[in-house]
Structure 1
């Protein structure tokens, strides 16, 4: 494996000297995510394998090219899981891509996002040096928790060589309930339940139907069912898996001029007056929108609600995929990019123009 690292180091140094862009790529399952792809491909799949896994310590460390399916299979043998439920988007998904994309699944509302489970990482910077973050060295001298900063960075700071992730035991019991109600009622009900000691682990509203998942001790789940009511969903496992990997009808229908937007807003935000079709997750905090509306209108609505909007799939990317940064935040992004990748070779423009 050291030979692979040396090959990468040589490629990075050569690219830095010639200012040739490099496109970091694992299984390519998220090539559609973000803005335009530029540069020579630096394939991570050869650098794979689980380095360490101690079930009693709830920590797994793996090389960047390790398939997500391989990691989940190892965890499954010990009845453990990546609790943030990262989407696969295809069989080639790698753990490096999981962290770089920073995308979480339905359970995120209960346990946290990808970044909350990153304990440490090794990163190859634009100078070809492999830096270690996390473990006993939780922060660098500038005060940034760099290992968690890599989550959602889309490779713009460097090549994630390996990661250490916190894992959790699978719940003893799970039940999914179904309720018929409109959008306003669903948002109100989710916020009411969110303020109570209920074992809610996921929620989804679409088309007049609210689906919620309860996870935890058998007694807690049983008591919650009696309190909440509703009808038990018999096809629950398939439903949550399709939602996690965006394989259900709502996401599959996104094509042509219709764009899929991902809006992050406060859970208590009322229904957003936007044309199109919505699916609501994470207790009301994540609003998926399929619409032909222009980017300015969608983002203005998200800002009025106290949030932001990402052009997730389709649409006109010239408007920018990610919500525009405030000047002060953009400066911080630029400084970080310059510190780790002074020549600007790693995934240029994948997040924002100029980075």
Structure 2
């Protein structure tokens, strides 16, 4: 697919719209590609669109850093990196080209490689953001370094736009692996998790592990020798990489099930847990997708008992999208919101009531 690169600095308009909202106290509903609009609570506010503020600002492959405006499609960012033999290791979804860089950071969604490479937050070096007082500020930079106090640029990852309007992001990138392999084995779920545990102890170069429909899919990445050796040890049927693209983009048949979609985030090496519906295990079992009509309280109790939490990816009248926070942690979030967005302009209530 040919990706057309477009560059436009539309930050002046965005600052003006936020300034007007600040003066009038009008809530704002931030939108980019709208690819993750179903995530979070409904927001009532005047739309502010970032898609015209787009383009790669700077990219020096030798420095392993790329800086892009918030409205830049993730697919366009990936194309620029691919041309230089590099990648964003957390492989966020592109959702058919609609996902934007700002939305990628705001939602913090990562792909199958996340347990082995890190989260979106781990690759954010710096950002520019418009605060609730219409100040266009820069946080962080373009190098890895220790930060005293809050690292605001990383706090924005997963904030769903509740802390400010991201206009620009600097991201750490890495070279693409020299060799890649994809295998499929027919196993039951228990056997799959036991094998994955053994391969983890053996330090095999695994960068993806998912179990669905009675089959374990394993992706291997690294040097030619290490990947070839791991392929020989694991065995199974060798496949192309289309499965991993489909998994990342939620295009597998599993996701077509009309029942509500849940994501259970569990500790590494968690044992199998009986879930009320059909499941897909990703991240070597640490992320478990669930299609289920069961009550939200039931699903969240199962996740809590396993040491994790559950997020509802499908709007439901009986379920908050995100697991309720303990009172002390919620109070901390509210204080942070007050510092960056004192009038509650940005995406009010999308994460939790009062945020």
Structure 1-normalised TM-score? 0.94
Q: C-alpha displacement at 1:165, in angstroms?
A: 0.3
Greater shift, 156-165 or 175-184, is seen at 175-184
The C-alpha deviation readout for 1:274-293, integer Å capped at 9, x for no partner, is 21000001111101011111
Paired residues of 2:178 and 2:221 also in contact (CA < 8 A): yes
Counterpart Cα distance in 2 of 1:5 and 1:225: 49
Report the secondary structure of 1:226's partner residue: helix
Report the secondary structure of 1:155's partner residue: coil
Q: How many residues align?
A: 348
Report the secondary structure of 2:75's partner residue: helix
Counterpart Cα distance in 2 of 1:4 and 1:69: 20
**Which aligned pairs between 1:164-175 and structure 2 lie closer than 5 A?**
164-175=170-181
Q: C-alpha displacement at 1:2, in angstroms?
A: 9.7
Residue 246 of structure 2 is matched in structure 1 by: 242
Counterpart Cα distance in 2 of 1:176 and 1:2: 39
Among 123, 128, 133, the residue aligned to 1:122: 128
The C-alpha deviation readout for 1:154-181, integer Å capped at 9, x for no partner, is 1000000100001111111111111111
Counterpart Cα distance in 1 of 2:304 and 2:132: 35
Counterpart Cα distance in 2 of 1:129 and 1:302: 40
Report the secondary structure of 2:291's partner residue: strand
Residue 325 of structure 2 is matched in structure 1 by: 325
Residue 36 of structure 2 is matched in structure 1 by: 30
Structure 2-normalised TM-score? 0.94
**Which aligned pairs between 1:1-355 and structure 2 lie closer than 5 A?**
4-135=10-141, 143-233=149-239, 236-253=240-257, 255=258, 258-314=259-315, 316-355=316-355
Counterpart Cα distance in 1 of 2:127 and 2:202: 36
Unmatched tracts of structure 2, length 5 or more:
1-6
Report the secondary structure of 1:52's partner residue: strand
Counterpart Cα distance in 2 of 1:85 and 1:184: 27
Q: C-alpha displacement at 1:350, in angstroms?
A: 1.1
Counterpart Cα distance in 1 of 2:198 and 2:10: 52
Paired residues of 2:56 and 2:67 also in contact (CA < 8 A): yes
The C-alpha deviation readout for 1:21-72, integer Å capped at 9, x for no partner, is 1011111111112111321110101111111100011100011111112111
Paired residues of 1:51 and 1:63 also in contact (CA < 8 A): yes
Paired residues of 1:139 and 1:145 also in contact (CA < 8 A): no
CA RMSD of aligned residues (A): 1.7
Paired residues of 1:133 and 1:140 also in contact (CA < 8 A): no
Counterpart Cα distance in 2 of 1:229 and 1:85: 26
Residue 3 of structure 2 is matched in structure 1 by: none
The C-alpha deviation readout for 1:44-101, integer Å capped at 9, x for no partner, is 0111111110001110001111111211111111111111111011322211111111
Q: C-alpha displacement at 1:139, in angstroms?
A: 7.2
